[in-house]
Chains A and B, each alone.
Chain A
């Protein structure tokens, strides 16, 4: 009961502090929201790529696209002689075309697709060796296999992680400075009050609590904005990406969607940590009780 009453009082003081801060509230929240949006976007992209990479990387499949006029049966027979090849599945161009038309609204032109062989291997270590060997077969126009793409995607992800980390870190630092200034102004405006409270035995936590909560509410507000932005982007961008990937690598099927919830949680935690941490640091620095 007593603790509850104290918390209620601290919450009221927080609201008073927020009112006192006026326009600088919005400055803090905007900068923090931008930082969190970038951070969340990078995080979400990284997670998705990781997912894709791990599902592709484990796939023991190579797609071989045949030159026009080559007989799929003959080529399939040749390929099945190669060691480590388990199954060779023939996808005639008519079938692939029909499937594509059922998935997308494709203009009724002549079938542009080649005959395709899906080569399944028994051993992941053999993927690249076999790929090299397939390239030498004259009847094959070109090949694609997820492992190679996965490698490239991974390189991109590593770059993204570093860039994202640098951007988030510098924006967070900027946010800390702005939060520090805002809280410092609040502290200055109630310098006398703080002195009086401290002299009358009010505990430091009661004095600092509202300031830290003020920072935490910046974090919450900014995280909410960032999450909404990310959600909207996700809503518009995802179907597009999906189509791109499907048309690029039809055999991988539908991507596993790992959802935005974990990202939102991390964004919220980071926002509150930066907000509350920034004001805790500032009040620790300027309030000597």
Chain B
């Protein structure tokens, strides 16, 4: 589903990713770990086309996304669910409106919007918060809104860059378990994280980056660079 071939990306002459080869299959669930500055966010940004690689090829679902025109980028992003560390919710809109925004911008009719938002909010167990505003919610709840928004359009791929970075351990575990449940429905999920206990608790595929290179890739692994983490 996601494939990187000989990907190289540098900032100001300093490589952030060098010669990365990676394949994540359909419906797979994987952690992307590594110390700060390893290139995790850079890799994520390449996947949702916030950046393009200097060399190499990135494909998602067989499509070479490095070759997308500007007009095609929104089409790609609609096929991806993206979850952010800082949630990126619209503070002046309710939970419902936040989740509904993209559907409405696509001209989906209001009945359909309601149906799909309700089902996304049910998956993240926030049915009772539809008319709340983001700042009245806890961090964990806000991140669940972010996840509902990411999945509302039924994307085949879900990308989460440090989704638990701003959360307490308990909420963090809940969020990652929620993402795991979503992957069980057939969605390919890639989570970048620093969170050692969570990676160790789930025993899923762990891809380890260091200095922009893939240093490890094990199927049911643990966090390998504990010493380097805060």
Binding site for B on A (CB under 8 A): 1-6, 9, 192-193, 195-204, 206, 289
Contact = CB atoms under 8 A, between A and B. Distances in A.
B70 A289 contact: yes
Interface of B: 48, 50, 70-71, 73-80, 82, 84, 88-90, 101-102, 104-109, 149, 153
B73 A200 contact: no
With a 10 A CB-CB cut-off, give which of B71, B77, B89 has the most chain A CB atoms.
B77
30 contacts: A1-B107, A1-B109, A2-B106, A2-B108, A2-B109, A3-B107, A5-B104, A5-B109, A9-B104, A192-B90, A193-B90, A196-B88, A197-B101, A197-B105, A198-B77, A199-B48, A199-B50, A199-B88, A200-B101, A200-B102, A201-B75, A201-B76, A201-B77, A201-B79, A201-B80, A202-B102, A202-B105, A204-B74, A289-B70, A289-B74
With a 10 A CB-CB cut-off, give which of B73, B75, B153 has the most chain A CB atoms.
B73
Contacts of B71: 204
Nearest to A199: B82
A206 B109 CA distance: 16
A198 B50 CA distance: 10
Contacts of B76: 201
A222 B90 CA distance: 33
A47 B70 CA distance: 46
Given A192-B90, A193-B90, 7 more contacts: A5-B107, A192-B88, A199-B82, A199-B84, A200-B101, A201-B74, A289-B74
Given A195-B88, A289-B70, A200 B109 contact: no
A37 to B, nearest CB: 38
A192 B107 CA distance: 22
A200 B107 contact: no
- In order of increasing CB-CB distance, the 6 nearest A-B pairs are A201-B77, A201-B78, A2-B107, A6-B107, A5-B107, A202-B105
With a 10 A CB-CB cut-off, give which of A3, A192, A196, A204 has the most chain B CB atoms.
A196
A197 to B, nearest CB: 7
With a 10 A CB-CB cut-off, give which of B70, B102, B108 has the most chain A CB atoms.
B102
Contacts of A200: 77-78, 82, 101-102, 149
B105 A9 contact: yes
Given A193-B90, A195-B88, A196-B90, A201 B102 contact: yes
A211 to B, nearest CB: 15
Contacts of A193: 90
A1 B101 CA distance: 18
Contacts of A197: 101-102, 105
B47 to A, nearest CB: 12
A289 B107 contact: no
Contacts of B82: 199-200
A201 B74 CA distance: 4
Contacts of B108: 2, 5
Given A200-B82, A200-B149, A289 B73 contact: yes
A6 B102 CA distance: 11
Given A1-B109, A289-B70, A199 B104 contact: no
